[in-house]
Amino acid sequence: PRALECSFWSAECDFTLNTVKGDKKDLSITTNAEESIVFSTKGSYIDYNIGTKLHVYYNKNLTSSDEFAFTFAQNAGFTAVLEFNIKAEAKSLSDKISFEENFKPIGEFEIEIMHPHSLTIKTSVIVVPTITLGIGGKLSGSIAYKTDVNRTGEIRVAYDSRNGKKDLTTTMKDTSSKLGKDALNVALEASVSAYCYPNMTFIPSVKPLRIKYPITLVELRAGIKLNNTLTGKIAKGFVASNDGVLISDNSEVSVISAVSGLAQGKFSAKIGENIVFYESKDFTNILQTPEWKIFEWKMQVIADPKIIVKDDASNSDLQKLSFSNDDKSINTKLIYYYTLSDKDDTSTDIDLTKLSTYSTYTSESNEIEISENTIVKVIAVLNNADVSKTSWSFGQSASKQVKKEISNVIEPTILPGSKVFAQSMIITLTQSQNYDIYYKLNGGTSQLYSNPFDITEATNISAYTSTLLDGKKILSKEVRESYTMCAEDEVVESGACVHNSLFDNEDTSSNVSILQCPTQLDTSLDINNNLIFHLNADGTITDDYPINGDYHFCDYYDTTSLLAVDRLYIDYKLEGITKEYYTSGELEIERTYANNVYDGITKFYTKSGIITNVYNYVNNKLQGTQYTYYSDTGSIRTETEYVDSVIHGKKQEYYPSGADAGCTVYENGNLVGNISDSGVGFVATSCEEYYK
């Protein structure tokens, strides 16, 4: 680089200057903190390299007009890191008073960038801060954001007095880095209508200074202009911040930030004060490139979400929950944040500052399964980045919270499924949600169910479920079952009462069936010190087999003389119910026989009288559903289907609470399933998968 020297009447002179990036210039300015609006660019700086080339031709012609020509070019690589902070506290004004204006809190100012040739070429940054303010009420809060913008390219101007030709060309290009969410912080509170936002113009300037004999040339400046535009007004009750959005009334507001390149020039081509080729008194806009949007910050009120509840077609115990919105243009973009609870208080309300802690639903989500009474609360949130047409968008819009009570009380199930019985039947009530079950026998008083119970006569049973939802009692539909007891001369076959042919002959066997062995051995009956006796139809006891073959077989414990076994024989064959007892005298097992084989119900008891197993035999083989129960509570444990004493069908298991503990499927004694995906182990098929 060298200084420009032109010492002859006729001369051609050249000058070249290049600076290198890295010498950052601080752009921090701050208004008086005592003012109602405080504007600051603290943290902003500019970093750029700039190249300048100048060629001058001058010919002092004594006989004709002087000749003068020049070409001046500026080439810049430019980065400005801009950080704005604006805080405002505007006092309340009358609702009728409103205004909007742009004002410059400190005016235009120039920051000179010194270099070795500052006496010849002046380089500087012109800063033009402007604040747009509109108010018609009360405003307080702040806006702060940080971004960087870049400009590259060249601007060139030329003049030649010999032909009067003036020429201007430019290849400016503007870019900006992507603005992240943490780069923008907004905290506004407004009533009625109020808004403010900053606009800034940063213009790098290169100014050739007067040279010897003196020649005055063109002054150019080309830089970046950042415009913020407010769309809509901030309506009454609007509050916005980075942590969340709260909007009342139907409000919509957006701030659009856009950058453009700006070139300005002031032409002065003259020698001394008298020879003037061209001169303009002030800078004029030579070129402004199209605006390029950096971000769009938008907030609006979204219509209330719709809560949709419908029955599950494949499972009557479930309901399906989903959400929708009437505005179809944004429905696929909405995120629904929701809570499910059995209580309605503020702890279950959606907090906009804690959205990440809630469950979410979108138009692509599967429906939500509801298996119990539930209060659902939901809001719809729109991320502006999902709908913005700009390169980047900040902010969220939210709906109001919507609430709905979903009542899903599943009715109880009355077991067993077979509706006929002989002598007695054990009734079990189950409910998958572990809610309270109430039942009535033959239309009597409602009773709270706790354990399985026996019925010994024809009985109509009705039952329903009861629970509380937010302190309100919710009842299920009532279910009813009727159970029929077979007559004394009937037995159960294939789910129906049929006549027992053993009662067709009128003999002493009919009397034998209603007799029972004495519960304790009478020593006076201790015939020949025997502990096994036969109770005849006429009530007599013998230690020999009766001639007609109809009798009770009575066996006693030798240690306690208490009854151990009571078996009924008809024509020397086991018939009816056989009872077996613990050594302490409690009933342990009841077995039902027909024609000397198991046929009917077999029950097992604990010493406390709780039933633990119920098996159903037909002609000495397990048929139909078999039951087991928890020995401590009597609640049902398993239901297993058998065919000809082989497990075939489903095995349903329950937790002690009555809740579903899983269901698997068997075929001909084999568990149905597949080898696991890893190739190791066996995965059983669930009943739901199998029957589907």
pLDDT at 426: 84
Same domain, 108 and 215: yes
Burial class (CB in 10 A: 0-12, 13-18, 19+), 558: exposed
What backbone torsions phi and psi does residue 300 show, to the nearest 5 degrees?
A: -155, 165
Q: Bridge partners of 497?
A: 492
Give the domain-ending residue among 238, 270, 300. 300
Same domain, 307 and 171: no
Same domain, 91 and 207: yes
Q: Does the predicted model carry a pTM greater than 0.85? A: no
Element (H, E) at 45: strand 45-59
Same domain, 224 and 163: yes
Asked if 176 and 259 count as a contact pair (C-beta separation under 8 A), the reply is: yes
Across the range 172-177, mean pLDDT stands at 72
Across the range 228-239, mean pLDDT stands at 65
Q: Bridge partners of 86?
A: 39, 143
Q: Could you tell me the two tokens for 227?
A: 């415009």
Q: Compute the distance between CA of residue 141 and CA of residue 144 in angstroms, rounded to an integer.
A: 10
Residue 641 lies in a domain: no
Same domain, 206 and 100: yes
Give the domain-ending residue among 622, 641, 660. 622
Which is higher by pLDDT, 683 or 607? 607
Across the range 358-379, mean pLDDT stands at 91
Q: Compute the distance between CA of residue 10 and CA of residue 438 in angstroms, rounded to an integer.
A: 118
Element (H, E) at 510: helix 509-512
Question: Buried b / exposed e across 290-320, counting CB within 10 Å, b at 16+?
Answer: ebbbbbbbbbbbbeebebebeeeeeeeebbb
What backbone torsions phi and psi does residue 322 show, to the nearest 5 degrees?
A: -150, 170
Across the range 433-438, mean pLDDT stands at 88
The domain tally of the chain equals 4
Residue 530 lies in a domain: yes
Residue 225 lies in a domain: yes
**464: pLDDT confidence band, cut at 50, 70 and 90?**
very high
Residue 691 lies in a domain: no
Q: Compute the distance between CA of residue 23 and CA of residue 436 in angstroms, rounded to an integer.
A: 79
Going by C-alpha positions, the residue among 229, 283, 242 that lies closest to residue 143 is 242
pLDDT higher than threshold 90 for residue 605: yes
pLDDT at 8: 42
pLDDT at 243: 55
The CATH number of residue 458's host domain is 2.60.40
Going by C-alpha positions, the residue among 171, 192, 179 that lies closest to residue 236 is 192
Across the range 76-97, mean pLDDT stands at 62
Beta carbons within 8 Å of 314's beta carbon, 6+ residues apart? 692
Residue 676 lies in a domain: no
Same domain, 372 and 333: yes
Question: pLDDT (tens digit, 9 = 90+) per residue, 59-71?
Answer: 776 667 777 777 8
Instruction: Report how far apart, in Å, the C-alpha atoms of 574 and of each of 234, 254, 592 are.
Output: 93, 92, 9
**500: pLDDT confidence band, cut at 50, 70 and 90?**
low
Across the range 28-42, mean pLDDT stands at 68
pLDDT higher than threshold 50 for residue 380: yes
Element (H, E) at 689: helix 687-691
Residue 662 lies in a domain: no
Instruction: Give the chain's mean pLDDT.
Output: 77
Same domain, 535 and 615: yes
Give the domain-ending residue among 406, 435, 465. 406
Same domain, 513 and 421: no
Same domain, 377 and 392: yes
pLDDT at 99: 54
Planar angle of CA 331, 332, 334, nearest 5 degrees:
65
Q: Which of 54-63, 149-158, 192-201, 295-304 has the lowest mean pLDDT?
A: 192-201
pLDDT higher than threshold 90 for residue 339: yes
Same domain, 239 and 333: no
Across the range 401-410, mean pLDDT stands at 86
Residue 248 lies in a domain: yes
pLDDT higher than threshold 70 for residue 209: no
Which SS3 state, helix, strand or coil, does residue 368 take?
strand
Convert 530-598 into a string of H (helix), E (strand) and C (coil): CCEEEEECCCCEECCCCCCCCEEEEEECCCCCEEEEEEEEECCEECEEEEEECCCCCEEEEEEEECCEE
Domain that holds residue 208: 10-300
Question: pLDDT (tens digit, 9 = 90+) per residue, 512-563?
Answer: 667 788 888 766 655 555 677 777 776 777 777 676 778 888 888 888 888 8
Which is higher by pLDDT, 495 or 235? 495
pLDDT at 177: 67
Q: Is the peptide bond before 416 cis (omega within 30 degrees of 0)?
A: yes
Going by C-alpha positions, the residue among 635, 579, 585, 583 that lies closest to residue 604 is 579
pLDDT at 506: 44
